[in-house]
Amino acid sequence: MSVMLLFALAIAGIFGQIGSHATPAGPSACSNITSHLGSSKVVNSELNLKYINSTEYYNTLQDAYKPSCIVYPKSSQDVSVALQAIRAADSRFAIKAGGHNPNTFYSSVDDGVLIDLSSLNAKSYDPDTTLATYGPGGTFGDLYDYFVRYGRTVVGARLAGVGTGLALGGGMSYLSPQYGMACDSFRELEIVLPDGEIVTASNTSNPDLFFASRGGGGNAYGVVTKYTVQSRPAGQFFAGNIIYAFQEKDTVLEAISNFIQYNNDPKASIIGTYEKLPTPDLNLNLDEAIIMFLVYDGQDSGSAFANFTSIPYLINTLNIKTYPDVANMPIPYSTEISRGANIFRVGVHRADTDEYRTAVDKWRDWGESNKGKYLLLSLDFQPVPKSLTDASKAQGGNAMQMPDGPWFWLNYLITTPPLMSGPDYDAVQSSFRDMVASTTNAEGLPLFINDASHDQNPLSTFSTYAKLQEIKKKYDPDNFFADRTGGWSFA
């Protein structure tokens, strides 16, 4: 073979390679974004500390995904440029705020562009209007620390480490019995639409988009780059955890049930959590416990928690706390410490039925017969009192159009061991799903987006589903978000 021919083949090979292996969509979007925004706002290397930090999730199964690059927008214009470049390259992408949604590809992406909103973290407070503004970056703990200097707070997560995506899924707060869900306090949102246009959503501007963004889920109608919300007073709280031995399970359940049905002081708020660890039982009851979170907005809780304090307990940390301290119950950094192979599922029940008793029994039986297949099981009672649904209505209602309380959500968490094989993992998840599904949900009540698993299709349980589908079609007309990133199904 002549040298010339070899050269010819080599050159053809090179060109052929360029022709047949065009730069893949992710890297191509990344280089376009870098050329528009500059290299300081884009990280490409998997070894970069910022890259490693941004690919950490509450559900650590997502930590393994390798985005082509990570973009850190500093303005809504930057978000707009990034979305348009992603669209032009036909790349996959994900939008990440706090990274706590356990569903894969909701805020994570493999081979595509990860938009990390952490640099969009401006905050302000206007004492004349008592309105607060914040960007989607940072955690609710950051927001509580900031606004408390004005004696104010915003309605948000119960745990400091959770991100602002919480409010787009509704957002259940200790303050919700007084002020409604986190999204009910929205007054105006700045949103970058899927086509890159930057718009305002409020009661008077794009009211349909404003409606859908109040609890109709993140990652669906655009990227929220600024929240303007009604702030709330943050004074002294009487709050803490009470831990009971599991043998008190029926007594505590009775107290939770009574609280859900009869408490009529909106300043009193609880979560009841039943916990199960993988350790052998040994009849010592060390493998299970009940942890109550009790929070009163004010120094004197009156008799609101008497039904809980009168049950024999192991630990009681009730005392006077600031709001930032309330968000660090039971211990600071709990959302970071509890990172793992975490999956949520959710149920919804009316207060005047017995479903919760059978739910707890089924959950416990499942835990007993599946020892070794989980590191932690947690079952959380989240009351939705009438005062909450009234407060929501008084502010125009949200995307759930929540029927009158009292009712409650049951949140199920499973943490599986880190090194489970694929088939073992799938088997335990499907068995867990069946256990949850064996307790029938109440008719006509919405499943909570923030605690739902992807396959539970929570939007379809909303009475507003048809309206949300139309809004989705209007703002994402060519299915750019629907096809290119994860998120709740509108189909």
Give residue 383's identity as a one-letter amino acid code: P
- Interacting residues with ligand NAG (CB under 6 A): 32, 36, 49-50, 53, 81, 84-85, 88-89, 118, 187, 203, 258-259, 262-263, 304, 307, 395-396
> Per-residue contact track with ligand FAD, 195 to 224, x per CB under 6 A?
-----------------------xx---xx
CB nearer ligand FAD, residue 102 or residue 306: 102
> Per-residue contact track with ligand FAD, 106 to 125, x per CB under 6 A?
xx---------x--------
- Establish if 136 lies at the interface with ligand FAD (CB under 6 A): yes
Shortest Å, Cβ 257 to ligand NAG: 9
Shortest Å, Cβ 260 to ligand NAG: 8
- Establish if 99 lies at the interface with ligand FAD (CB under 6 A): yes
> Which partner in ligand FAD, ligand NAG, none is near 464 (CB below 5 to 8 A by kind)?
none
Shortest Å, Cβ 309 to ligand FAD: 23
> Which partner in ligand FAD, ligand NAG, none is near 203 (CB below 5 to 8 A by kind)?
ligand NAG
User: Can you name the residues that pair with 414 across neighbouring β-strands?
Assistant: 343, 377
CB nearer ligand FAD, residue 141 or residue 367: 141
Contacts (CB under 6 A) with ligand FAD, residues 22-61: 58
Rounded to an integer, what distance in angstroms lies between the CA atom of residue 415 and that of residue 428? 11
| Reduced 3-state DSSP string for the chain | CCHHHHHHHHHHHHHHHHHHCCCCHHHHHHHHHHHHHCHHHEECCCCCHHHHHHCCCCEHHHHHCCCCEEECCCCHHHHHHHHHHHHHHCCCEEEECCCCCCCCCCCCCCCCEEEEHHHCCCEEEECCCCEEEECCCCEHHHHHHHHHHHCEECCCCCCCCCECHHHHCCCCCCCHHHHCCHHHHEEEEEEECCCCCEEEEECCCCHHHHHHHCCCCCCCCCEEEEEEEECEECCCEEEEEEEEEHHHHHHHHHHHHHHHHHCCCCCEEEEEEEEECCCCCCCCCCCEEEEEEEEEEECCCCCCCHHHHCCCCCEECCEEECHHHHCCCCCCCHHHHCCEEEEEEEEEEECCCCHHHHHHHHHHHHHHHCCCCCCEEEEEEEEECHHHHHHHHHCCCCCCCCCCCCEEEEEEEEEECCCCCHHHHHHHHHHHHHHHHCCCCCCCCCCCHHHCCHHHCHHHHCCCHHHHHHHHHHHCCCCHHHHHCCCCCCC
> Which partner in ligand FAD, ligand NAG, none is near 223 (CB below 5 to 8 A by kind)?
ligand FAD
> Which partner in ligand FAD, ligand NAG, none is near 91 (CB below 5 to 8 A by kind)?
none
**Which among 5-13, 24-32, 170-178, 276-284 is the span making contact with ligand FAD, rule CB under 6 A?**
170-178
> Are the CB atoms for 125 and 101 separated by under 8 Å?
no
> Which partner in ligand NAG, ligand FAD, none is near 450 (CB below 5 to 8 A by kind)?
ligand FAD
> Which partner in ligand FAD, ligand NAG, none is near 260 (CB below 5 to 8 A by kind)?
none
Locate tokens 């709001």: which residue?
323
> Which partner in ligand NAG, ligand FAD, none is near 69 (CB below 5 to 8 A by kind)?
none
CB nearer ligand NAG, residue 78 or residue 288: 78
> Which tokens is 328 given?
């660090």
> Which partner in ligand FAD, ligand NAG, none is near 402 (CB below 5 to 8 A by kind)?
none
- Establish if 98 lies at the interface with ligand FAD (CB under 6 A): yes
CB nearer ligand NAG, residue 7 or residue 262: 262
> Which partner in ligand NAG, ligand FAD, none is near 166 (CB below 5 to 8 A by kind)?
ligand FAD
Q: How many residues bind ligand FAD (CB under 6 A)?
A: 32
> Which partner in ligand FAD, ligand NAG, none is near 32 (CB below 5 to 8 A by kind)?
ligand NAG
Picking from 282, 308, 293, 76, the residue whose alpha carbon sits closest to that of residue 196 is: 76
Shortest Å, Cβ 236 to ligand NAG: 21
- Establish if 163 lies at the interface with ligand FAD (CB under 6 A): yes
- Establish if 165 lies at the interface with ligand FAD (CB under 6 A): yes
- Establish if 159 lies at the interface with ligand FAD (CB under 6 A): yes
> Which tokens is 486 given?
């994860």
Which residues of this protein are in contact with ligand FAD, per CB under 6 A? Answer: 58, 95-101, 106-107, 117, 136, 157-159, 162-166, 168-172, 218-219, 223-224, 335, 450, 487
